[in-house]
Structure 1
Amino acid sequence: MERGNEEVPCKGLQLVFPLGQNHHVVYPFGLHSHRSLPWDYYSEGDHFYLRSTTCSKTTSADSVICSKCEKIRTNDIFKNIVDRITHGVNENTPLMYYPIGGLVTKIRRKNDQIQVLRLTKHNDTQKLASQTTALDRHKEFMMAVASGEVKRMAPLVTASINNHEGMDALLARIGRASADVFREGPRYNAKGFTADDQMVGICALRLGGSRLADILHRALGLPGLTTLRKHTIIRPLRASPGLPTVAEVEENIDAYTVGEDLPTGPPRIIHRVVMLDEIAVERRARWDDKTNMILGACREHSANVPLEFGDMADAELFFKELQSGNVHLATEATVVAFGALSRDPHIYNPRPICISGTCKHEKGSEQAELLRILNDAANNRKQHGNIEYRTVSFASDGEAKRGLALALEFMKFPLHTSSPIYPLLKPLEFMNLRVGPDDITPDKDFRHVMKTTRGLLMRKAGIDLLGFLITPAIVKKHLMAAGNSQAHVDQLLNPNDRQHVTLGYQLLRELWGLPDALPDDGPVFSSARRALQIFGRLGYHLVMPYICLSLSLREQLVHLSTAAHLLLILFATDGAGTKFMANQTFVNIMIMIKNAFFCVAKAKIDIPDSEFFLILLGTDRLEKLFGLIRTAVGTDTNVDIYQLSTRASNLTEISIILALRPHWDRGPKRIKLPAVINEKGDVSAKADHISPASCLGDLHVANVVPHACWLDGRLIAEGIVPEGRETLAKLAAKKVDIFSPLGEYLLHMPDAPDAFTADPALLRPSPQETNDPAPESFYDPDGDIEDAIAIEKPLNPKHSPHVVVDGKKLSKASILSQLMQGRSVRLSTDRTRRVAGIPAFKSTSTNGLITSDNVPTLHISNPIAALVTCEDKIFLAVAQVNRIAFGSTDLDTLPLDLLADIGTKISFQILRLLPATEDDDPDGRYDWRWSLGGFESTCVNVPGNLIQPLNPTISNRIPGKPMYLFTSDALLHVASGIQSQLASRDFDSIPEVPRSEKFPYRHLGA
């Protein structure tokens, strides 16, 4: 038999495993129990075979395997097994596909995971146990904090953190800090204080004294006196015993700059204003141990007596000169301070540089000398490190002599054409371009302007606005017609509270918010309402730049320009002049507006990338310093010159602190203004404090063109008063400026004595004056405590605090105190009464004396007929009532049966009647008409029997312009009726009025 046909046994398909793998471990035997596989398996030694279940058992000698077993290679399950053997089993493969080795590996891995989880759980349990303990300790910490036994917890915790201590050590510190000092020994105190701790401590020390600061140190853990005094950087100021000298002012400037860090870096310019204001002081002589001089004399006459205190004869000579009147004790002190125009609260707070007493007898030219001294000292000390401080203005309140001095010194040169700011300001029509040295301009405080604007509405003479006379009675009537209560209106128009800035704002706010008159309100009421609205708009444009936080610098200047042009229109129209506004008030407002434009122009040249803060102009920062001084000295007494000099510098620190922490301070109520966030008047949440940090608008000077702002303001003013366009054109033709609207320079023109006299009828009944018995002596017989301190610890040991009198050593301070006791008695302890005296007006009766219920009455603004004389002839005048007086009482209404009473006096303004036209009266029934805006002369205190109430016909043919209509017959009847009731003596009481273009009334110019 041939060998090729020989049959041999078929061993099956041999499965070859990768090197290092064993078939017992790698092959998935469990798969045979789960799937019906077409093969079986067996092994021989190290070989592993798969045999088909249909294997023929034999095969030819040429072949190792039969065709059935060979077919296993093509099976998909076999291929997957080989793939898993070669490349490993996927983690997501079911367990039956795993070989025994894979299952062992998987079980081991799972066991490892279980062990890790078991250990993790054990660790977590341990951690939770420790955390529970820690939470308990933290709860103890919370209870310790809540107990309040440790006042300064923050420094204590900080100390523990710095020492990397745990909660147990921290609680131990707290326990030591809260220990009973009487039983357990000294208490633990954490060292180190925050900036707020130090600032609060300084506030307590400066305002409340060392006793209060020490109490707070012991009770609340604030810094002690030694620590607080170490952090003081401003030295005490030196008060000038007489007229200040340049050297004295320079020494005071150095006093607050010596403790400041010297600025470094590139050179830069900061603008500043010099603020001047007076504060009332005790008329008291004090010894200054630093200079050995007697303080308290007025600078005006201090040259008449030697002020150095050498021996007893010097003190006796000083008081002898006081007795003779050659020198006076100062009633006020002039305080001068720098105020930087900067956003940084460290810089913009006031820096006092001069304190000088005055008796208020100083002339304007003498005050100009003081201004020159201050300006020279400021120039000598303008460089501080890399910073050059440039003085741009001198600011003051509305005091007349100071205003004259400012004008003499800082408006004496025309702005030179070579000045860098000349191109910016020359195009401003009506702008006054006179300046002082280095283009310095004077300034007036905004709050004072607001107070005087309110005062105009209380003026007895009233306000002539575009021919209409606004009296206080008319103001009251319209405010009450707008829904305000009698009590609120009385408060707004109370002449005894002229210094209340908040009332000034509220009154102007009520006026610019008045609604338009209704068609049936009558022509006179409508004319009054329009006049009051125009005045309210003037107040609006004066106020908004200083209280609206969202305004940009451009919008602020447009508001001021609008106010300036409105003032020109109202002051110049029909030559109103002082009948509209006192010269001094007009000039002060214009000075304020002019200075704002000049300061912005200077900033554009010197600091083009800077912001400009309008609210930093004026003297408001100095007023706030005065409030702190009064708080430190006591609210019921005035500071004396010595106290002012020793405390003003210290209280400057308080100003800086309150600027850094404005939410700590409510501010003086009487000078506080609300902050609004838009021009609708919506009050801001920061209403208690207006500072550079609270401003929201774009205040960069680079984005402002003064000429454009000035022109925009003019257009707005002409829109408010359309007839003002003609007035401004006439003023432009005359080449006038803002200080000469009528052709004459108003800066040096005095006002009439009654220019600021308030209407006595506005006074509310005041509380009964108290009669405080005067003490026997001004001071304690044992001596003043501050004098005793000066004796005990003299600041300058080179000056002896004693003199020898009759062999006895007496202190200089006590000698002056004893000599003062013999000169005067103590005034009322109420500071306001001591400074201002009793109210300017006293209420003798109230408006409630006369009632008019259910009886015919005469009201303010009612039309009347009256007899007047003009060029020695009697004429009938139709007028409107602007004041009613019965005896010494001013009334809003008067029963007609009291009109003829001898005590009744009526003040009125004549209406300008014109012939009626067909447009006015198509039926031709009426001969005369009167519409809005036509007024003639004013008559004051006319006897009531010379007038007759009228009830004219009101026409509303022209919407928004109601008019009165009259017939000649009715007017003649009224005139004859009044004349027939007069006695011969009454003709002497008929008021006389000047002839005008329209009065006496006439047809066709006859």
Structure 2
Amino acid sequence: MKILSEHPEWGGEGRRITVKSLQQLGSEVTAKHNHINPKSIHGDSQVSSVHLEACWKAGHQTATEHLKKAGLYPPFDDMDAVGGYDILCPFGGGKMVLAEGQLADSEVEEPNEDGEDNNSRSDESLQPSDLEPDLEDHAGYEAEQNGEKKVNAWISIDGSEKTAHKATILCIFGDPFSPFNSKKRLKRVMTTRGFGQYRDGRLSEQCEDQLEEGKMIQSEDPALTVVGCEDQVFVAVVKIMEVVQSGSSLRSLPMRFLHEPNTVLHCHIMALTLVDEEYQPTGNDWHWNGNFVPGGVIRNIPGCAVDLINPDLECSTKVKVLTETFAFQTQELVALGMVICEHISQNLPTIPVIQVTKNFLYRTSSGDACLMCETSENRSRTLQNGRRFCLYCSVCLSDLTVP
């Protein structure tokens, strides 16, 4: 550390003293650390005349509590038994650290040839400019304060000597297509939405009540929207990445503001796997496999084009997820998709367009697309006996009620 200090024997100018911290020196502490020379101290500075017992005991008690909390044994009783330790002798042996330390070779002071001339010099002989700090020292101090801080880009792994670059760690934990991270996201959703036994202690009691009642929307929530793909409309199950209201990113938002015109969402389409092709009206037939659709990020989607969904949690042997995962029902997804289409037809001229990928559209094992489709008004894809059919599934487009 560097200390900008002034001394009465320096002619009224400030000097910069560079010393190491006590932690770096250990027990090798010299008188250099007392940057105020003992010769400039006037009066009684003996320990016998200074009563610091109350401060010493208070510090003793505080240090003991901190050491016990850290799982360390307090050494103060052993120090008292050995003796030689006090507030000015922290290393024991009755050696005062800042007053009786050994002088380094560079610290040996030259004898004062002028005798008492320097001490007899009065303040009246000093000019006002002599009392001002040296410009060079002041500029150096300001440059040091305003300079760029050095940042170490390497961190240790579990306290060992092995290090890893921070960018590598961020790539591992920031990969949106990693099943491991997807399970972590699922746990966070279970924590904040009341889908599991965990609770987020950072939320206030009022906010927790609102979450349990389904009155709040926040990031990591599963939701539903509709997207355009190959000139048709399909339902997409998404994870909310960010909630934005009036240009401000929010951690949570009351549900009553979701469909306001100043609310937009950033979402990522979730990859689903069909686990029951026999279609049970009351059963769940879609499971989230822990992955997301590549290129399925939807930004700035209006809130009126999104609806929350509260899925069940089930274990599945058909998806590569070891823990419970989200489970969806076809009938519920299609019904919510119809409701969203009504909102869109009244408020939005366009919907997000997504390219066909391996994980989207949602398909059966035979390759048929599922979960609602609707052809654009001016583009009929297939005609069979006067009825329009979707090329991706067996749904008759003419029978759909969505405008």
TM over 0.5: no
Calculate the TM-score normalised by the size of structure 2.
Answer: 0.43
Q: What's the TM-score, normalizing by structure 1? A: 0.19
Which structure has more helix as a fraction of its residues? 1
- Please tell me whether Structure 1 or Structure 2 has the larger radius of gyration of its CA atoms: 1
